[in-house]
Structure 1
Amino acid sequence: MDHLAHGHPRTTPADGHPATEEGHPVIRVLEGIREEVADLAGGVVADYIPELAHADPEAFGIAVVSPHGRAYAVGETDRPFTIQSISKPFVYALAVEERGLDDVHAHVGAEPSGEPFNAISLDERGRPENPMINAGAIVTTSLVGPGERGVRFEHLRSVLSAFAGRELVVDEAVYRSEAETGHRNRALGYLSLAGGVLVGPVEAAVQDYFRQCALSVTVVDLAVMAATLAVGGVNPLTGERVVSQRTARHTLSIMSSCGMYDRAGEWGLRVGIPAKSGVSGGILASAPGAFGVGVFSPPLDEAGNSVRGVAALGRLSDDYDLHMLRTPAEPPSPVHSVTRSGDTLDVRLRGEIDFLAAEQVVSRLAETIDDTRVRTVTVELERVSGFSDAARALLAAELHELAEAGVDATVRDPRGVRGA
């Protein structure tokens, strides 16, 4: 994947290797973080799923994927491990895409549980507290696609593969280990069935849930999947739209409040990147509009989160300002240039035009109503990458105001971004 460092997309993460050159600035950043936290003591490898107990406690890898499809990785980036609970946000996204937000949340809540991930509890409406704990994830799996065992799982696998940009396969040994010992998850399934929120037979849902958790990934796969959510549902390597922008936003919202088990509040305070962890030692983090990050290190803290993974993402957030609530010193200007020739004003815009950017633009345009020297206004969108619905409505209203004031206002949109 060396070509990814220069932004050229590829079809699968298995085509090569991410950029690992020691001199690359991003690689130096990742290497520095890895070296700093690699010697952290503490944590134990999960053993309640017997097959996971064989994991190497020294394994440690970090990968980052940019919105433009550049991938960077350090450490053990090719070592496969099972995705486990990191599958949950992607299955949730699929359920929301297929059934809609309201229908999904008629079956599962959206509140942090404050309890362990495998707690046996339902809310006052008989629903699991959220889709990121086991009970909620089993219900979410039951909502997806055709309910028949095997058929539904292939549907799940194909969508998670689209998030990763390559075909994911099941680690059969881990699947058998989960299926043979996962009696608590079966109990959660029956409790949800009794609550009237699980769809179809319990065993069918539980078996598909075991299989989705046993999908084999690498830390690079996690970073690609995270980046796909971070940029609004389009895989930055393949260019494929996997889910809608709205569904990606819903998924990041749930991850931000519920993704790190009963440490979600502390995580939001100190790290502030929507994330999901898994008991195999992986953590996936999606910095909205920025990077997708994957970390893998098997020893877990008492909440079930990777000790080194938590520390690495904390440093990445602190040192490189990736907290989702970071505040820019000054909002970026959407105005590239303003030129005047005679009674004509030419306003060239740039970047992504959201509501905040549109407010700046219409305020600038409104000034022309009081300037009797300006009778013609042209708004150029050649450098604009996108328009939100709110921005579109705001600009349309201002164009109407200009017309009412006798100013001839037109929009030049050669790429069609305003109507996209």
Structure 2
Amino acid sequence: MLCHSSEELMAFVKEARSAAKEGKVAEYIPALAKANPNSLSIAIFYPDGKCISAGDIDKKMTLQSISKVISLALVLMDRGEKEVFSRVGMEPTGDPFHSIGKLETMSPAKPLNPMINAGALVVTHLLKGKSVEDRLQPLLSFIREMAGDNRIDYSEEVALSEYQSSFLNRALAYFLRQHGVIQEDVEELIDLYTKQCAIEMNCLELARIGMVFAMDGLDPMRGKQLMPPKVARICKTFMVTCGMYNASGEFAIKVGIPAKSGVSGGIMGAVPNTFGIGIFGPALNEKGNSAAGTKLLELLSKTYRLSMF
């Protein structure tokens, strides 16, 4: 798919890039520490297939926590709302995404929502299949279909780097296993989860996935419903309430669109019934969101009145 460069978007990118100096790349995952902190790119994908962009949109990023929205959609389709939400809640949390604190005070000890790491581990636990690869393939196929690219895969380098450094996620998984929320070998779950997070793509492909969510699960170019509208709406609601970690409330006020960030510096936006957005800016602010990417979305929302509120 050809994506046309936009001088107007480039001006926003140049203005927002200054915010990158306020952040730093995710050094706690060694493979992500190699990213250029000053990088910033954006693609906007419309339902008719038109795309505009600015920056190096072909540069690949790993999905990281953006994958949480997609795995949730797949698991909701496979397992149904009743089973999923018997294991993970629907409420925002003011805690960091990797916190274990709320789990210790909840009874039963189920995670508050699917966008924090504890909740995402539960969702990944619910992916159907017998082996890690067997469970990963349906998720990859779903992502490839939404993005319109069958070449999408995961980065073995990033997956291994995360697997070797996922001590906090192991702690969360062992806690959840102790309380019966998950029932599988923790190492196998961490292997699957890190491969899920290491699925990589460029801004254009990310924007196209955002467009599918924006259109309530419909791929309008092919006239194909990739997920039920209710599933897409549930995912977008979580994106609004929990998608930008514990900065989601501020983001809702300043930007006001469903969005999900990842610690690689990616942000996927879904402007309802309008278009999808894919952003890559690796320098993260103190909440774990792309510093320049967040600024870029603030500029776009203010200029074009994108807020849904």
Task: State the TM bucket, normalised to the shorter chain.
Answer: over 0.9
Bigger radius of gyration among the two: 1
Query: Is 1:165 the equivalent of 2:145?
Result: no
Aligned position for 1:152: 135
What is the CA–CA distance in structure 2 between the aligned matches of 1:129 and 1:206, rounded to whole Å?
A: 20
Inter-partner Cα distance in structure 2 for 1:268 and 1:293 = 16
C-alpha distance in 2, partners of 1:221/1:194?
A: 38
Using the TM superposition, give the Cα deviation of residue 34 of structure 1 relative to its aligned residue in structure 2, in angstroms. Answer: 1.0
The share of aligned pairs that are identical, in percent, is 39
Aligned AA (2:48): H
The change in CA–CA distance for 1:80 and 1:106 in structure 2 (over 3 A counts) is same
Find the counterpart in structure 2 of residue 382 from structure 1. Answer: none
User: 2:91 — aligned with what?
Assistant: 111
Distance 1:159 1:199, change over 3 A: farther
Distance, in Å, in 1 between the alignment partners of 2:131 and 2:292 is 39
Q: Pick one of 92, 95, 119 that aligns with 1:136.
A: 119
**1:246 paired residue number:** 230
**Within 5 A, what are the aligned runs for 1:160-199?**
160-167=143-150, 168-199=152-183
Deviation string, structure 1 residues 289-334 (Cα, Å, up to 9, x no partner): 1111111111000000001100011111111111112xxxxxxxxx
2:265 counterpart (249, 257, 281): 281
Residue in 1 that maps onto 2:274: 290
Counterpart of 1:39, as a letter, is S
Is contact 1:165–1:235 with CA below 8 Å preserved after alignment?
Answer: no
From 61, 67, 79, the counterpart of 2:59: 79
How many residue pairs match? The answer is 304
For structure 2, list consecutive stretches of 5 or more residues without a partner in the other structure: none
CA contact (8 A) 1:86 1:284 kept: yes
Conserved? CA contact 1:59–1:296, under 8 Å: yes
SS of the residue corresponding to residue 286 of structure 1 reads strand
| Letter of the structure 2 residue corresponding to residue 253 of structure 1 | T
Indicate yes or no: 2:244 matched with 1:272. Answer: no
4+ residue runs over 3 A deviation = 236-240
1:50 deviation in Å? 0.4
1:241 offset after TM fit, Å? 2.4
- Which whole-Å deviations, capped at 9, do the CAs of 1:86-116 have from their partners, x for residues lacking one? 1000000111111111211111111111111
Q: Secondary structure at the match of 1:91?
A: helix
Match of 2:188 in 1: 204
Q: Unpaired segments of 5 or more residues in structure 1?
A: 2-16, 21-26, 326-420
Higher relative contact order (CA 8 A, sep 6+): 2
Q: Secondary structure at the match of 2:278?
A: strand
Q: Give the TM-score taking structure 2 as reference length.
A: 0.95
Partner of 1:4: none
Mapped to 2, the partners of 1:306 and 1:107 lie a distance apart of: 30
Q: Secondary structure at the match of 1:211?
A: helix
- Out of 1, 5, 9, the position equivalent to 1:30 is 9
Equivalent residue for 1:49? 29
Q: Mapping of 1:83-94 within 5 angstroms? A: 83-94=63-74
Alignment check: 8 A CA contact 2:7 2:54 kept:
no
Distance in 1 between residues matched to 2:272 and 2:130, nearest whole Å:
33
Q: Could you say which residue in structure 1 is the equivalent of 2:247?
A: 263
Structure 1 residues 262-288: Cα deviation after superposition (integer angstroms, max 9, x where no partner): 001111111111110001111111111
Q: Hey, which of these two has a bigger chunk of helix by percent?
A: 2
CA contact (8 A) 2:88 2:112 kept: yes
- Name the SS for the 1:35 alignment partner: helix
Distance 1:33 1:235 in 2: 28
Structure 2: how far apart are the matches of 1:127 and 1:270?
A: 31
Q: Deviation of residue 125 (structure 1)?
A: 2.1
- 1:202 and 1:243 mapped to 2: Cα distance? 29
